Amino acid sequence: MPKKAFCSFVPGFMSNKLVNKVKAGVLVLAVVAGIAAYIFYRAFYSSQIRLSDKSKLIYIHTGWDFEKVAGMLKDKHLIRDPKMFRFVAEVKGYITDVKPGRYRVVNGMSNTQLVNLLMSGKQEPETINLYNIRTKYDLAGIIAGKMQADSTAVISYFENNDSIKRYGFNTYNVIAMFIPGTYTLLWTDSPRDFFEQMHTNYEAFWTKTRRKEAQEAGLSPMQLSILASIVQGEQSLFPDEKPTIAGLYINRLHKGMPLQSDPTLVFARGDFSILRVRNGDKEIESPYNTYKHAGLPPGPINMPEASSIDAVLNFDRNDYLYMCAEADFSGRHHFCITYKEQQEYATKYHRAENKKQIIR
């Protein structure tokens, strides 16, 4: 009997032991699964970007591989765990799908959000303000500061007639294609991409109405832009004088008289610090010397604003042929029909310059 009782006890004992092992195994699996879930969540979805500001711009250059990108992000302290970032990038395929561009990284982003942004190619546009620009070199410098291409590549495009003749311009007058304003471009845009955008804007600006008004003034759109740049060079403070100045210069053009505009001499000199034009300046050999050469120069002497272009389109029909800056240095002008009258005002103005010791 005792032997039988012992034998009946063993199976029950073994069953409990097995259950405990199963429970232990399940617990281990649960812990492992929990750890894996935590690692997965931390790698893919937890906040990894810690910034002192709300966001930060990063630049990924053309030709960069993943190692370059990861190194840049690490150097800028944008990723907390490079290994986790690499893991997410591998899973999502970014390792072999790097896209250049200017991207805005936002504080609190996860690795997944960061990789998705970089894979999307959705760049943060650059804003470019084109105002108060004198030369194509100034313009090239501004553009180059907003795109991946350097200033050398940009100015090379400006100076290549084969590049810009498709738009109907040449290296002298190309700046006329750019209408002052605020525009956007992508950091990865090429000089040609930006030219295409500006040419589209130029064509939209020169409406049928504006072209008709230019024709009525006896000028092509290009000639009108050149004249508008001279008018703007003469008067940048008081817009109400612009139509009067435009009418004066159109009178001179119709009579075959040289424009004799001082701002064109300053442009020919290339020294925009000049405050007083001297007689020697009038002897400079340049197609922009409107004292020596009748008619319009070969290109604008600045980037004329829309208001200056419209002032010439709506020029004042007057009889003026001469003008002189007022001696109070207000920026306004006296307008004259006769040379004698202009010389009287010029004498007063030169005396005022001497009194203020404006030599150059």
pLDDT band for position 254 (cuts 50, 70, 90): very high
Is 21 within a domain?
Answer: no
Question: Can you tell me the distance from the alpha carbon of 79 to that of 26, in angstroms, rounded to the nearest whole number?
Answer: 35
Percentage, residues of the chain above pLDDT 90: 59
pLDDT band for position 53 (cuts 50, 70, 90): confident
Question: Can you tell me the distance from the alpha carbon of 213 to that of 199, in angstroms, rounded to the nearest whole number?
Answer: 21
Average pLDDT score over residue span 123-136:
92
- pTM for this predicted structure: 0.80
- 46-50, 208-212, 264-268, 287-291: lowest mean pLDDT where? 46-50
Tell whether the model's pLDDT for residue 41 goes beyond 50: no
CATH number of residue 67's parent domain: 3.30.1490.480
Query: Which of 162, 108, 155, 110 lies closest to 135 in space, CA to CA?
Result: 155
Is residue 331 domain-shared with residue 297, that is, in the same domain?
yes
Average pLDDT score over residue span 123-137:
92
Is 281 within a domain?
Answer: yes
Percentage, residues of the chain above pLDDT 70: 87
- What is the amino acid identity at position 116? N
Is residue 90 domain-shared with residue 134, that is, in the same domain?
no
Is residue 238 domain-shared with residue 324, that is, in the same domain?
yes
Average pLDDT score over residue span 159-187:
92
Return the pLDDT at 172.
92
Is 46 within a domain?
Answer: no
- 218-232, 287-301, 345-359: lowest mean pLDDT where? 345-359
Is residue 90 domain-shared with residue 104, that is, in the same domain?
yes
Is residue 167 domain-shared with residue 271, that is, in the same domain?
no
Pairing of strands 322-325, 333-336: antiparallel
Is 18 within a domain?
Answer: no
Average pLDDT score over residue span 184-202:
94
Do 352 and 329 contact (CB within 8 A), yes or no?
A: yes
Average pLDDT score over residue span 3-17:
56
Ranked by mean pLDDT, the top range of 45-54, 138-147, 249-258, 263-272 is 249-258
Is residue 72 domain-shared with residue 131, that is, in the same domain?
no
Query: Pick from 120, 140, 174: which residue ends a domain?
Result: 120
Number of folded domains in the chain?
3
Question: Can you tell me the distance from the alpha carbon of 232 to that of 26, in angstroms, rounded to the nearest whole number?
Answer: 84
Residue 99 has φ and ψ, to the nearest 5°, of -115, 130
Query: Pick from 63, 95, 120: which residue ends a domain?
Result: 120
Is residue 96 domain-shared with residue 170, that is, in the same domain?
no
Question: Can you tell me the distance from the alpha carbon of 352 to that of 137, in angstroms, rounded to the nearest whole number?
Answer: 34
Average pLDDT score over residue span 326-351:
92
Tell whether the model's pLDDT for residue 313 goes beyond 50: yes
Q: Helices 151-158 and 136-144, interaxial angle, to 10°?
A: 140
Domain limits at 213? 208-355
Mean pLDDT of the chain: 87
CA distances in angstroms from 230 to 9, 59, 264, 319, listed in the order given: 113, 40, 7, 19
Average pLDDT score over residue span 188-203:
94
What tokens does 155 get? 């100015």
Q: How many residues does the chain have?
A: 360
H helices, E strands: number in the chain: 14, 6
Higher pLDDT, 23 or 61: 61
Question: Can you tell me the distance from the alpha carbon of 317 to that of 221, in angstroms, rounded to the nearest whole number?
Answer: 19
Is residue 221 domain-shared with residue 346, that is, in the same domain?
yes
Is 288 within a domain?
Answer: yes
Residue with tokens 């008004």: 213
Is residue 187 domain-shared with residue 326, that is, in the same domain?
no
Is 168 within a domain?
Answer: yes
Question: Can you tell me the distance from the alpha carbon of 210 to that of 208, in angstroms, rounded to the nearest whole number?
Answer: 6
Return the pLDDT at 337.
96
Is residue 348 domain-shared with residue 227, that is, in the same domain?
yes
The b/e string for 111-120 (b: 16+ C-beta within 10 A; e otherwise) is bbbbbebbee
Average pLDDT score over residue span 315-340:
94
Higher pLDDT, 293 or 48: 293
Return the pLDDT at 127.
92
Question: Can you tell me the distance from the alpha carbon of 108 to that of 312, in angstroms, rounded to the nearest whole number?
Answer: 54
pLDDT band for position 299 (cuts 50, 70, 90): very high
Is residue 337 domain-shared with residue 285, that is, in the same domain?
yes
Do 50 and 80 contact (CB within 8 A), yes or no?
A: yes
Question: Can you tell me the distance from the alpha carbon of 44 to that of 32, in angstroms, rounded to the nearest whole number?
Answer: 18
Is residue 247 domain-shared with residue 273, that is, in the same domain?
yes
CA distances in angstroms from 355 to 5, 50, 129, listed in the order given: 131, 62, 39
Residue with tokens 């002032």: 311
- 43-57, 108-122, 168-182: lowest mean pLDDT where? 43-57
pLDDT tens-digit series, residues 87-108:
999 999 999 999 999 999 998 8
H-helix or E-strand spanning residue 335: strand 333-336
Is 23 within a domain?
Answer: no
Tell whether the model's pLDDT for residue 180 goes beyond 80: yes
Return the pLDDT at 48.
65
Query: Pick from 202, 237, 268: which residue ends a domain?
Result: 202
H-helix or E-strand spanning residue 15: helix 2-44
pLDDT band for position 109 (cuts 50, 70, 90): confident
Do 97 and 142 contact (CB within 8 A), yes or no?
A: no
Is 17 within a domain?
Answer: no
Q: Cβ neighbours of residue 237 under 8 Å, at least 6 residues apart?
A: 331, 332
Distance of CA 130 to the CA centre of its chain: 7
